[in-house]
Amino acid sequence: MKDTISYSQLMKELDKHRSKVRYILTDEQKKFILKCREHANPVPYCQMSVLWEKLGWGYMAETSIRNHYKKMQSDK
């Protein structure tokens, strides 16, 4: 027999799996991303991820950096 749950129970269960972390960039981090990307020869996102970690900001995947850059571009 299959276990069934109600819709409200499902919503509570889904909320347990959602990321609660919202990464808010500092002005310095935003400047870093823009400096790397807004150039005739932009720094690749994979290298930006390595530099990000070397700057002591922790690990950030290249896709996350790309998404932050796209968000900054759309906010202009």
The pLDDT of residue 54 is: 97
- Checking if the pLDDT of 1 tops 60, the result is no
pLDDT band at 64; cut points 50, 70, 90: very high
The two tokens of residue 9 are 């129970």
The percent of residues in the chain predicted with pLDDT above 90, rounded, is: 64
Residue bearing tokens 């990000």: 52
- Taking residues 30-55, what's their average pLDDT? 96
- Taking residues 16-40, what's their average pLDDT? 88
- Checking if the pLDDT of 76 tops 90, the result is no
Residue 25 near residue 31 (C-beta atoms within 8 A): no
Residue 13 near residue 5 (C-beta atoms within 8 A): yes
The pLDDT of residue 20 is: 63
Q: List helix spans (H) across the chain.
A: 7-17, 27-37, 45-54, 62-74
